[in-house]
Amino acid sequence: MNSLTNRKKVLESKKMNFWERIYLPAILHGLSITMKHFFKKKTTIYYPEQKREFSENFRGLHSLKRDENGAERCTACGLCALSCPAEAITMTAAERKPGEEHLYREEKYASVYEINMLRCIFCGFCEEACPKAAIFLDGDIAKAGYKRDEFIFGKDKLVEPIVK
């Protein structure tokens, strides 16, 4: 019976002839193939020493940015936490005291800013939501760790160092 699409292919299963049935030629052919691979250039990237280049839009670890004067841009508006689908971001806001203008750009800042890297899915929504251009996912790939609390990144790990 013809199939409706007429695209059916009937596979032939030919009986193997004697030469094929003794398998040895096929095994020798296989051996020659593996031998070719033996001398091929290896594609391995020796990871900790060599690193593969990230693409332009690669999303890695977060960093909290500073402005041109070295003051933290984040104003603890909470939009990143709100946009976060994994609910990985928590923060506590605080008011800037007089004399701290060089530390924080706005009058309100995040005294605690934590991202749980075990929850984070690196979607980049926080980056998109941020009105102050304070958070970017431009870091390295997330590190491994032995304990769960090593993965809760506070401001000590997130805020980018002051460039002199």
Partner 1 sequence: MDIAFIIEKLILISAILAISLVIAMYTTLAERKFAGFFQDRVGPNRAGPWGLLQPLADGVKLFTKEEIIPTHAGTFLFVLGPSLSMFTACITTAVIPWGQDLFLFGRNISLQVADINVGVLYVFGVVSLGVYGVMIGGWASNNKFSLLAAVRSASQNISYEIAMGLSIIALLMMTGTLSLREISEQQSGMNWNIFYQPLGFLIFMICSFAETNRTPFDLPECETELVGGHHTEYSSMKLGFYLFAEYINMFVSSAIMASLYFGGYNYPGMHLISNPNVAALIGVAAFFTKILLFIFFFIWVRWTVPRFRYDQLMKLGWKVLIPLAIINIALTGAGILFFGK
Determine, following the binding rule CB under 8 A, whether residue 43 of this chain makes contact with partner 1.
Answer: yes
CB closer to partner 1, 13 vs 44? 44
CB closer to partner 1, 2 vs 34? 34
CA distance 129 to 82: 9
Total of chain residues touching partner 1, rule CB under 8 A: 14
Q: What are phi and psi of 65, to 5 degrees?
A: -90, 160
Shortest Cβ 55–partner 1 spacing (Å) = 23
Contact with partner 1 (CB under 8 A) among 16, 20, 25, 33: 33
CA distance 28 to 85: 55
Contact with partner 1 (CB under 8 A) among 2, 3, 6, 34: 34
Answer for the pair 124, 63: CB distance below 8 angstroms, yes or no: no
Determine, following the binding rule CB under 8 A, whether residue 112 of this chain makes contact with partner 1.
Answer: no
Contact with partner 1 (CB under 8 A) among 9, 14, 15, 42: 42
| CB proximity list for 95: less than 8 A, separation 6 or greater | 107, 108
CA distance 143 to 149: 13
User: What is the binding site for partner 1 (CB under 8 A)?
Assistant: 27, 30-31, 33-35, 37-40, 42-44, 46
